[in-house]
Structure 1
Amino acid sequence: MRRALAATAAAALVAGALAVIPSPATAGDPAVRPAATIAPAPDRVISGPLTGLQRPVGLAIGPDGRIFVSNFLSGSTLGSVRVFAADAAGDTAPGAVLDSTSPGMSFLTKPAGIVVGTDGRLHMAAYNDNAIRTYAVPASGNGFVMQSAIGAATLISAPNDLATTSPTGLWVTSGGTDEVVRLEVGSTTRLRTLSTSAPLGVAVHGTSLYVSGGNPAAPYVKIFTAGASGPATPSRTISGPATGLEEVGGVAVDRYGRIYVANGADDSVRVFAPGANGNAAPVFVISGAATQIDYPSDLAFDAAGRLWVANDTATGKVLRLPALAAPPVPRPPAPPPRTTAPSKPRALKVTGKTTAKKRTVRWKAPARSGGTRVLRYRVVIKKGKKALLARTVSASTRRLIVKRSKLRTGRLTVHVRAVNAKGAGPYATTRFRVRR
C-alpha cells in the first residue's frame, strides 16, 4: 500500500527526519479519543537483515498460510515481493522472492498492493508501471511465472491496492485517476468503475466493497454496495474528526464485519464497528510501544482471524497480533406483548329504586385490558330475549343513566362488555327489577 503525501500533509521535515504534526482538526480534540485503546503484544514478528524487508507497503496471506510482503522501490532498495513460510518468525529469509530478475519486473518496478487469490496466484499492483501482473508462485526460489499483465489499455494510473472477488475477479484502486476499477485477470475491459478521491486501500467483505483514502485534509473509509458504479454515492462513509483518521493506509474487515484501518499519523490501527457511519469514533485503537506498530501501511487477516500488520519503515517489520474477541451479541428485542380481547367488566350493578324515573348502570374497568387499552364499552338491556336498549360509551365513561320510559316493567338483564383493538371481551351481566 503506497501512501501518497501531498504538500498539505500534516507532516514536516525537521532536521532531516519526518516529524508528524497533529492536524488542527484533531490536535487536542477529545472527540478523537477512542472508547478503548488496547496494546496487545504481537505473537509473531518477522524482521531483520535476512528477511530483506525494507519499506514493506503490501501484505497478503496465501490460502496455504504463506506470508507475502511487497517492498516498495525506495532509493537503493529495489522493489520486490518476498514470500515467507507460514510459520516464519524472527530474522528469517523468505522462501521465494519476486524481484528485478523475475518476469515483468525491472530495476524500476515499484510493487505496491498485493493480493493472493484462493487459487494461490499472486496479483501485484506495479505502481510506476500502471499495471497489474499475475504470477504463479513457486514453492521456493525465484521461479515466478507471469501469467497475465494488463496495463495501459485499462487506463489505470498509479495503482495502489488490489482485492479479489473470485480467482479471476479484481478490484484495483487507481490513485492517478481517482477511481476504483473492477477488472478480470488478463482482460483490459473495465467491468465497473467507481469514482472517489485519492483511493488507497481496498477490501471486499460479503457483498460490500471497502475503500480507504482521501487527501490529508479529508481521509475516509467508504463502503459501497455490490451494484455501485460510476459516481455512485457510497452506502456509508466514515470520516470526520471523531474517527481520528489521518494518513490512512490499508483497510481490512474481520469475520465479524469490524473495519480496521492502518493510520500512519499516530502509528495505530483504528477499529470501527461493523455499521459505523459518518463522524464515528472507533470502538478500539490498537497502538502503543508493546504492539510494535510503526507507520503501518497494510493489513491482512489469516484464516484464524489474527491481524497482520506491515510497517512501512526503512528496516521493515511484519507483525501478527492476536485476534480481537468477538463483539458481544446483542440481545434480541423482547417480543411485543400478546394482545387479546379484554376480560369482562367488574362490579356491574344497577342503582336506583325499582320505581325511579331514572336508573344508573355502573361498572369498573376489566381486570385485564388484553395488553392494549380499552377503546369503548357496549351496554345492552334486555327483557328476556328482546333488546330494549343498546348503547356504546367511551372508555372513560363507566356508567349509563337510563330513563324509565326506555324500560319495561318486570325483571330485566343488563349486559356490559369492553372492546379494545383486538376485539370485544365477554359480557358481564346482572339482573334488576322495574316497577310502575
Structure 2
Amino acid sequence: MNRTRLVGAVAGAALAGGVLAAAPAEAAAAAEPVDVRPERTIIGTRGGVNPRDILLTASGRVYASDYHRHRVVVYGARARGNAKPLYRLQGPRTRIVNPGGLSRDAKGRLHVFSDRRILVFAKNARGNVRPVRQMRPRPNPIPDKARGAYATERNVDGRLWVGWGEEGFIEVFAPGAGKDAKPERKITVDRPGLWEPEMLRFDRAGRVYVGTHTGEVDVLSPNANGVTKPLFTLSNARQSHIDGMSMIRSGKLAVSDGRKIVVYPRLLAPTRPWKVRRVTVARSAGAAKRVVRWRKPVADGGASITRYKVTVMRGDRVVKVAVVKGSRRSYVLARRDLPAGENTVRVRAKNRKGYGPVAQATFTVRK
C-alpha cells in the first residue's frame, strides 16, 4: 500500500524461523532474511515520539522528525530503550510544520523539510528558536519518467535510482539523464509476494539499501538488473515497516517504523575500491618529465584508500612500478626511464580489501 511522502526534498510480525546473527563479515548470495542484532533500539515513548524520517550522525546522535507533533527530537549517542531525548526543536518560532526529511550540512547546521520549505537551524539550536535561514527546495532535475515515484536518490556514481513502491520495481537512469531520458535498467527482486521498494540509501561501495513497505531492507549490487536476488536481506523482525532510513560513512544503518528507531551495525563488509578516474599523462612526448594524474574512485568500497599502484607497460613488458600514498593524485615519470614509442600507464587504487580494477592511458615518448 502506498503511503504519502514528498520525495527528494532534502537531502509486520517477526519472520518465522528467521536467523539471529551478528552483522555478517561477508555478503553471501541472498538466502533467507537475516535477523541482525541491533546495536540499540530507541522506543521513544518517554519523549512521546512517533519517529518518521530520521538522521543518524557520525557521532551517534539520532534526529527524528515527529510529523504529527510538528517537532524534531534529538537522542544522544547512547540513547536506548525508553530514552529521554537530549532536546527538541519545537514551538511557533521554529516554524516546523509536519516535518519530513532531515540532513546536516558541512557546518553542522540542521536542515528540516517542513511545509514545502527547508528550514536551516544553527548547529547548537534547541527549543523554540528561529531558523537562521529558510529556502525553497531547488527543482529536482529528474527525467519525466521518474516523476511521481516513491523515492528518487542518486548513487555515488551519479546514477538516479527510482523506487516505485507498490508498482514493485526500481528504475535506474544514467548520470545527467535529461527530461526525455529512458531508464538504463529496471530491477525487481526475486521473492514471493509483492515487493514494494519505498526508500533508497547507498553505502561507500555503491551498494543499494532498499527499504520495503513490509519492513525488510534488501541490499542490491550497484550493477543489479532485471529480476535479481539481493546480496543480503535484513529481516523485518525488528521493524514492522520502514518510515525512515539513514546511513553513515561507517556503514551503520538506522531505520524507523513510526514507533521506534533501530540502529544496526554495518551489514556488509567493505569491498575493493572502484576504478580510479581520468588517468592522464601531461607534457609533450619529448619532455624530460611526464606527469601521470588521476582522480580517486567514486566509491572507495567502504574502506579508506591506502595506496595507488602506478605501472608503466610497453606492450606486455613491465617498465616501471611505483606505489604511492593514498593521498597522492599524481606521479612523475622521467623520460630516461621510459622506452621510446607508445607506452601504457595503469593506475589502481587499494584499500584493506585489496586492489581495485585497472584504469589506464597511453602516451608516447620521443627520444
* 1:61 is the counterpart of 2:59: no
Deviation, 1:197, is 4.2
CA deviation vs aligned residue, 1:376-418 (integer Å, no higher than 9, x gap): xxxxxxxxxxxxxxxxxxxxxxxxxxxxxxxxxxxxxxxxxxx
Which residue of structure 2 aligns with residue 317 of structure 1?
260
Aligned to 2:103: 115
CA gap 1:95/1:252 in 2 versus in 1, 3 angstroms: same
Given the alignment, which residue of 202, 227, 252 partners 2:176? Answer: 227
Aligned to 1:281: 229
Aligned length: 254
Q: What secondary structure is seen at the aligned counterpart in 2 of 1:50?
A: helix
Q: Distance in 2 between matches of 1:122 and 1:110?
A: 16
Q: In the TM superposition, what whole-angstrom CA distance separates every residue of 1:139-188 from its partner, at most 9, and x where no partner exists?
A: 544435241232xxx6xxxxxxxxxxxxxxxxxxxxxxxxxxxx2xxxxx
Higher RCO by CA contacts (8 Å cutoff, separation 6 or greater): 2
* Matching residue of 1:272: 220
Q: Which residue of 2 aligns with 1:26?
A: none
Post-superposition shift, 1:288?
Answer: 4.6
1:220: how far off? 3.0
The 5 A counterparts of 1:54-203 are: 54=50, 56-62=51-57, 64-73=59-68, 78-105=69-96, 109-126=97-114, 129-138=115-124, 140-143=126-129, 145-150=131-136, 183=138, 190=139, 192-195=141-144, 196-203=146-153
SS for the counterpart of 1:148 is strand
Aligned equivalent of 2:328: none
Alignment correspondent of 1:401: none
SS in 1 for 2:227: coil
* Counterparts of 2:39 and 2:85, CA distance in 1: 19
Partner in structure 2 of residue 392 of structure 1: none
TM-score by length of 1: 0.51
- CA offsets per residue over residues 240-275 of structure 1, 9 Å max, x none? 65597634332111122211111122x211111221
Distance 2:111 2:240 in 1: 26
> Contact 1:48–1:91 (CA<8 Å) still a contact in 2?
yes
Counting only pairs closer than 5 Å after superposition, residues 211-360 of structure 1 correspond to structure 2 as: 211-214=161-164, 216=166, 218-239=167-188, 242=191, 246-265=195-214, 267-289=215-237, 292-312=238-258, 316-326=259-269
Alignment partners' CA distance in 2, 1:205 and 1:243 = 27
Contact 1:135 1:146 survives alignment (8 Å): yes
Contact persistence 1:135–1:148 (CA under 8 A) = no
- Deviation of the 1:61 alpha carbon: 2.4
Q: Distance in 1 between matches of 2:4 and 2:195?
A: 12
Equivalent residue for 1:206, pick from 143, 146, 156: 156
What secondary structure sits across from 1:125 in the alignment?
strand
Q: Within 1, Cα distance between the matches of 2:230 and 2:256? A: 21
Task: State the shift of 1:36 in Å.
Answer: 4.0
Structure 1 residue ranges without an equivalent (≥5): 6-17, 20-32, 155-182, 184-189, 331-337, 340-436
For residue 120 of structure 2, what is the amino acid of its counterpart? Answer: T
C-alpha contact 2:119 2:131 (8 A) present in aligned 1: no
Verify the 8 A CA contact 1:96 1:142 in the aligned structure 2: no
Tell me the distance in 2 between the aligned counterparts of 1:142 and 1:39.
40
Q: Distance in 2 between matches of 1:119 and 1:244?
A: 44
Change (3 A) 1:202 1:89: farther
Do the aligned partners of 1:243 and 1:280 also contact (CA within 8 Å) in 2?
Answer: no
The structure that has the greater radius of gyration is 1
Find the residue that maps to 2:53 and give its secondary structure: strand
Structure 2 CA distance for partners of 1:99 and 1:79, relative to 1, 3 Å = same
Shift of 1:230: 1.5
CA-CA distance at 1:221 after TM superposition: 2.9
Question: Match for residue 41 of structure 1?
Answer: 37
Alpha-carbon distance in structure 1 between the residues aligned to 2:247 and 2:165: 26
Change over 3 Å in CA distance of 1:37–1:229 after alignment to 2: same
Aligned with 2:46: secondary structure? helix
How far, CA to CA, are the matches of 1:214 and 1:285 in structure 2? 19
The amino acid across from 1:198 in the alignment is G
The CA RMSD measured in Å over matched residues stands at 3.4
Q: Among all aligned residue pairs of Structure 1 and Structure 2, give the percentage whose two residues are the same amino acid.
A: 27
Letter of the 1:69 counterpart: A
Rounded Cα–Cα distance in structure 1 between residues aligned with 2:123 and 2:148: 31
CA distance in 2, matches of 1:191, 1:286: 30
Residue type at the aligned position of 2:135: A
